[in-house]
Amino acid sequence: MTRKMTFHWHLRQLMAARGMFQTSDLVPRLAERGVHLSREQVYRLVTQPPQRLNMEVFVALCDILTCTPNDLIEPLELPQSQRQDAAAGDQHAGSTGVGELRPVRARIVKPPEESS
């Protein structure tokens, strides 16, 4: 059986441990290391796990936070149930919701016209 992997991105926790509580704190530190990202790009990097990451950015983050790549990325194996859902083409994939709760599309019906 194929092992499906994912990861946890610990950038925000590492920043907080070093007294950096705003995403904009990284912009000048990255620029000092020759990495020029916009505030929006840095915000996404901190708040969302990246799908792709430039190695220069990755090395700069490790230098800024005085950490190793293992501190930033924690590899995890997907649980069996999530692998089966993904393989079966989960009907709720991509939908937003909480747990098993999913939004229901509203249907607006025009009331019948009254005759005089």
Q: Are 5 and 75 in contact (CB under 8 A)?
A: yes
- Per-domain residue ranges for the chain? 22-68
Termini Cα distance of the chain: 71
Give tens-digit pLDDT for 33-92. Answer: 999 999 999 999 999 999 999 999 999 999 999 999 999 999 998 887 665 555 555 444
pLDDT of residue 99: 66
Give the model confidence (pLDDT) of 12-37 as tens digits.
999 999 999 999 999 999 999 999 99
